[in-house]
Structure 1
Amino acid sequence: MSNQETMFCFQCQETAGNRGCTRVGVCGKTSDVAAMQDLLIDTTKGLSAITTELRKEGKAVDQDINHLISLNLFTTITNANFDRKVIEMRIEKTLEKEKELLSQLEDTSALPEASLWQGGKDEYMDRAGKVGVLATENEEIRSLRELITYGLKGLAAYSKHANALLKDNEEVDAFMQRALADTLDDSKSIEDLVALALETGKYGVDGMALLDAANTAAYGNPEVSKVEIGVRNRPGILISGHDLRDLEMLLEQSKDSGVDIYTHSEMLPGHYYPAFKKYDHFAGNYGNAWWKQKEEFESFNGPIVMTTNCIVPPKDSYKDRLWTTGAAGYPGCRHIPGEIGEEKDFSAVIEQAKQCKPPVEIEQGSIVGGFAHNQVFALADQIVEAVQSGAIRKFVVMAGCDGRMKSREYYKEFAEKLPEDVVILTAGCAKYKYNKLDLGDINGIPRVLDAGQCNDSYSLALIALKLKELFGLEDINDLPLAFNIAWYEQKAVIVLLSLLYLGVHNIHLGPTLPAFLSPNVLKVLINEFNIGGITKVDEDLKTMIG
């Protein structure tokens, strides 16, 4: 890439032609924004190489540097931030920190070029053209570097949510930065990078454990909850994304305002936490997965707060009602500032809501969720008895992401056609393909057990390990458990790497395999872990369920 008219991005599942977006992103990002994201990643890797060398010299790295690096990575996740000015500000801040930390190093000879480059804003576009994905010419090395980088983006997102609750893990941050630096190291072989990808999965487990501990310490363990999907007759605010701290602040600030709060997409699991049940104006969940937001945000009538991804470029009809915060951003939409540990001010959103009509009802009824690890462990005896009696034949993990592609109707059909003695374990927005179906229960155990957000795939891993223990098995792959995972963006990549680190084999990934996996790297994953794609529902049911 040599100018702002061209780009190359293949980090999400919907990338053009399952090869790569080269003119404008399928997500809606423009080529100049893509270029600035490339440069932000490069400068973040450069800063990470410096912090890694500082640690080797026995010097401490400040927590604010760790937070900066995590936020930089999070900013470049698919559908999170489309605002070029914000991304350029993050590049400037990163370059300033590089300059500051370079002076603390005794030896700079091992640093890559990315750590030393200090160009001005007028040089950003030229530099971006030299450091994008295609700058790595060897296809296998490129594939593994991107696999690791995308996994680290997902890990950074989970770290950022834990940081918002004042929880940190220095080991996770130090690894994240070492791994970023290693993706710039031309001496690393294919074998080295394969090992680093699996190590990324190890720290992915640690990162999800950190966030799980942060969420449950602050808000209690999720519990089985019935969530209304209809509407009330008062104005409302719709909050989307993943950041529970943002949800807490909004609920607290709006409690006496006469405005109701609704969750959207990945914020649905907020209803499962005991701490939020005290708010009478916490009305329910509105709509479905992220990709339907254009019509659903329009009919909601009130303001929408995007705490993270996934933003779809908004229609003019509601753009003035779309607010962003944290890593999220969109040009022309108002942004609510607030650093880690600070109280954000949602008063302007609340005032806007008071002037709006109540939401238009698009659904009625309720959905049930809250089956995170602590809740499922409480049901362990009941589940074991159901398995031993034959009432439950198998579990199938259908976690991950939802998306626009018609091929994703596969997951709804798969759920509908599952035998009645099979239970679905889910987390993430993939569940919107089947969480409103009437699939019944088995001896009182719902056939869809929703653990929560995509990061709550950690709960699914703990549940699998607990079942392995309860059944006295040596290998997690001996469980009556199948994996049919839908992926879309980089948080799904860290979940995949985490499952591979835990030794899970026979994962089916769809609706397409990642474009960033070269044929030879894919061959390694198939040979080592028997990763496969999806085919036809009936064929896959025979393969996975038997």
Structure 2
Amino acid sequence: MFCYQCEQAAQGTGCTAAGVCGKDHDTAALQDLLFHAAQGIAQYEWRARQLGAVDRETDRFILKALFTTVTNVNFDPERLRGLLMKAAEFKEKAKKLYETACAQAGRQAESPTGPAEWKPAADLPGLIEQGESYSIEHDRNRHGHDLSGLKSLAVTGLKGMAAYAEHAQDLGVEDDKVYAFFEETLDFLTREKFSVDELLGRSLKIGEINLRVMEMLDEANTTAFGHPVPTPVRITPVKGKAILISGHDLKDLEELLKQTAGKGVNVYTHGEMIPAHGYPKLKQYPHLVGNYGGAWQAQREEFEKFPGAILMTTNCIQKPKNSYQGRIFTSGLVAWPGVTHIQNRDFAPVIQAALREPGFDHDEPEKTIMVGFARNAVLGVAGKIVDMVKRKAIRHFFLVGGCDGAKPGRDYYTQFAMQVPKDCVILTLACGKYRFNKLDFGSIEGIPRLLDIGQCNDAYSAIKIAVALAEAFQVDVNDLPLSLVLSWYEQKAICILLTLLHLGIKNIRIGPSLPAFITPAAYQVLKEKFNLLPITTPERDLAEILGTVPAGT
């Protein structure tokens, strides 16, 4: 295997024997094959679409296939085999759709090559062998490291965008133009030859479409659950039976809350679920009692200590310990061999497991942190914020957030946040906030110095806030007293980065390391166009941003 799609790639270059995330060779090969199969479906679906023929079921399957290959989603070879069999069926369906559309238009049907020609092997070993032929290593041999790296940038961004689009679709928000772009791009990526400009241009286009996708997800979440409001969240347990829900799927959380109502089971959020407490329609459930633990990478220790059942939604699962494997469950696209998978959001097995476990035997002293500072909440006091900036009561804004992870070097973000001057405000989002969100940063004239905007997909809120402030000051976003200091781990962070670059935002600092697929030559292009910067030390980066020392000294 060879995989370098996440920040924790072994030795900063790529995982070869096994994935740092926990996937083995077989899983990696099957995921590579599933991406290849999705390309084959898209080759036909894109051609049919240009003749006015569209199949929504196929569109949705392509999203699910891509999302399945995102880091920390599906580690189960048997479930991957099932998806590959479905992919073969959808490819034939798309082929027939295209051929029928051609016949109706009086045109000769093309016979696309490459992924469109794939036919599934008869058994799991055969599928694994097929997948070995479509690894990144083969791409590197064909295109060279620089071009294959830029191609991987586009692939990684596309996968991340699929996750957000699938979340929105799950709540009933779709856009045919978005589906069309996925299929056009998957078809584009089957080409044998590329230029640097073509691949970079495609990546920036992914960033552009991802802005629309994040808007769709924002619309989906706020329509379903209301606009987030500032809310204190308890971070200490209360006495009683308990279920812990992790991941990103707010619909799963809502259904779980409905099914546990009146059953004497308290529900706790974990990881990226913590912003749920700010949504009015979710916070109305009294048995949504708080948040337990921190970011995804500490789950094996935290889950072992949690005295109840655990539900993993979307991504972020790690290999379960034997001590809790019997009380952890997966839903949606998440899967781990030997872990019970919930079908059709029937959470009865999760509830039964929670009732069997002891739960918390006493209330711990209450401690809380604040969430819910999404765009409506922040822009509601925009006038006051603008006035404070003009009066120099607020000197600078820092967006410090993104993915968290286990790789050394992420304490940079803790130290950076702690060293931000007291006349500056920190915006944060995604699980990167767990590096410092339980610290007390105080406030400036009633405005909290730490504003938790939400999940990683709530980067849309951060963008809207930045654009609104730029309009208020009548300047370009790059001229605002705002600096972005981002952490990344997986594909969703990359597609957000591409959105920021599409918007022309410069001087972004990213870490703890640059993506392994960005070669020195490829990075030089991004440096020249956007001044994308790797983090250094908190002291030096803060000094350069605030102008207290000459840059580069």
TM class by shorter-chain length? over 0.9
Separation (CA, whole Å) in 2 of partners of 1:32 and 1:119? 15
Q: How far is 1:217 from its partner?
A: 0.5
- Fraction of identical pairs, as percent: 42
Q: Structure 1 residues 13, 459: CA separation in 2 closer, same or farther (over 3 Å shift)?
A: same
Q: Which residue of 2 aligns with 1:294?
A: 300
Q: Which residue of structure 1 aligns with residue 52 of structure 2? A: 58
Q: Is the 8 A contact 1:399 1:457 kept in 2?
A: no
Q: 2: distance between equivalents of 1:117 and 1:158?
A: 28
- Whether contact under 8 Å (1:235, 1:353) holds in the other structure is yes
CA deviations on 1:473-526 (whole Å, 9 max, x unpaired) are: 1x2100001110000000100110000111100011100000011221111100
Provide the residue aligned with 2:284 in structure 1.
278
* Shift in alpha-carbon separation, 1:252–1:378, aligned structure 2, 3 A: same
Q: Tell me the residue number matched to 1:388.
A: 390
Distance 1:409 1:98 in 2: 46
Match of 1:456 in 2: 458
The whole-number CA distance in structure 1 between the counterparts of 2:3 and 2:118 is 23
State how 1:361-510 maps to structure 2 within 5 Å.
365-473=367-475, 475-510=476-511
Q: Give the structure 2 partner of residue 4 of structure 1.
A: none
CA distance in 2, matches of 1:240, 1:12: 20
Q: Which whole-Å CA distance do the structure 2 matches of 1:363 and 1:19 have between them?
A: 45
| Contact 1:33–1:84 under 8 Å retained in 2 | yes
The farther-off stretch of 129-138 and 214-223 is: 129-138
**Matches of 1:193 and 1:536, distance apart in 2:** 32
Q: Alignment length, in residue pairs?
A: 533
Which letter maps to 1:134?
E
SS in 2 for 1:399: strand
Residue of structure 1 in register with 2:122 after alignment:
121
Q: Is the 8 A contact 2:275 2:455 kept in 1?
A: yes
Among 135, 138, 142, the alignment partner of 2:138 is 135
**SS in structure 2 of the partner of residue 261 of structure 1:** strand
Q: Is the Cα contact below 8 Å between 2:58 and 2:94 reproduced in 1?
A: no
Q: Distance in 2 between matches of 1:193 and 1:25?
A: 26
Q: Which residue of 2 aligns with 1:3?
A: none
Contact kept in structure 1, 2:238 and 2:364, CA below 8 Å: no
Equivalent runs, 1:10-409 vs 2, <5 Å: 10-60=4-54, 62-104=55-97, 105=99, 106=102, 107-109=108-110, 111-122=112-123, 123-136=126-139, 137=141, 138-338=144-344, 344-359=345-360, 365-409=367-411
By how many angstroms is 1:128 displaced? Answer: 1.2
**SS, match of residue 316 in structure 1:** coil
How far apart are 1:448 and its partner, in Å? Answer: 1.0
Aligned to 1:227, the other structure's residue is in SS state strand
Q: Distance in 2 between matches of 1:145 and 1:54?
A: 25
Kept in 2: contact 1:394–1:421 (CA 8 A):
yes
Structure 1, residues 66-122: CA drift from partner, whole Å, max 9, x if none? 111111111111111110111111111011111122123235536231011113234
**What does the per-residue CA deviation read over 1:172-216, in whole Å, with 9 as the maximum and x for residues that have no partner?**
111012111111112432211111100000011000000000000
- 2: CA distance between counterparts of 1:134 and 1:405? 24
TM-score normalised per structure 2: 0.94
Quote the offset at 1:337 in angstroms. 1.4
Q: Are 1:260 and 1:281, in contact at CA under 8 Å, matched by a contact in 2?
A: yes
Q: Tell me which amino acid in the other structure corresponds to 2:323.
A: S
Does the C-alpha gap of structure 1 residues 58 and 30 become closer, same or farther in structure 2, counting only changes over 3 Å? same
How many angstroms does 1:364 deviate by? 5.0
Cα offset for 1:290? 0.4
The amino acid of 1:40's aligned partner reads L
Paired residue secondary structure (1:14) = coil
**CA offsets 1:367-394 (integer angstroms, 9 cap, x no match):** 1011111111101011111111111100
Write the letter of the residue equivalent to 2:512: P
> Which whole-Å CA distance do the structure 2 matches of 1:301 and 1:19 have between them?
39
Shift of 1:429: 0.2
1:299 is displaced (CA, Å) by 1.1
CA contact (8 A) 2:41 2:91 kept: yes
Q: Residue 295 of structure 1: CA displacement?
A: 1.1
SS in 1 for 2:534: coil
**Could you give the per-residue CA deviations for residues 267-299 of structure 1, whole angstroms, max 9, x where no partner exists?**
000000000122110100000000111111111
Indicate if the aligned counterparts of 1:151 and 1:200 stay in contact, CA closer than 8 A: yes
> What is residue 540 of structure 1 aligned with on the other side?
541
Q: For 1:455 and 1:115, how far apart are their aligned partners in 2?
A: 32
Output the CA distance in 2 between the equivalents of 1:327 and 1:544.
Answer: 41
Amino acid at match of 1:220: G
Where 1:161 maps in the other structure, the secondary structure is helix
Distance 1:243 1:287 in 2: 18
Q: Using a 3 Å threshold, how does the CA distance of structure 1 residues 291 and 364 change in structure 2: closer, same or farther?
A: farther
Structure 2: which 5+ runs fail to align? 103-107, 548-553
TM-score, structure 1 normalization: 0.96
Residue 20 of structure 2 aligns with an amino acid whose one-letter code is V
Deviates more, 1:393-402 or 1:99-108: 99-108
Task: Give the letter aligned to residue 149 of structure 1.
Answer: V
CA pair 420-40 structure 1, distance change in 2 beyond 3 A? same
SS state at 1:28 partner:
coil
Is the contact made by 2:235 and 2:292 (CA closer than 8 Å) also made in structure 1? Answer: yes
Distance in 1 separating the partners of 2:169 and 2:209: 16
Distance 1:441 1:110 in 2: 63
Residues 161, 210 of structure 2: 8 Å contact kept:
yes
Note if contact 1:232-1:358 (Cα within 8 Å) is conserved in structure 2: no
Distance change >3 Å, CA 519–CA 359, structure 1 → 2: farther
Counterpart in 1 of 2:524?
523
The amino acid that maps onto 1:188 is F
**Contact kept in structure 2, 1:225 and 1:369, CA below 8 Å:** yes
| Whole-Å separation in 1 of the counterparts to 2:502 and 2:111 | 30
- Using the TM superposition, give the Cα deviation of residue 126 of structure 1 relative to its aligned residue in structure 2, in angstroms: 2.5
Gaps of 5+ in 1: 1-6, 339-343
**Counterpart of 1:72 in structure 2: which amino acid?**
A
Deviation at 1:531, TM superposition (A): 0.3
Distance in 2 (alpha carbons) for counterparts of 1:294 and 1:159: 29
* Separation of aligned partners in 1, 2:474 and 2:209: 27
Asked if 1 retains the 8 angstrom alpha-carbon contact of 2:231 and 2:372, the reply is: yes
Tell me which amino acid in the other structure corresponds to 1:350: I
Q: Provide closer, same or farther for how the CA distance between residues 34 and 364 of structure 1 changes in structure 2, counting only shifts above 3 A.
A: farther
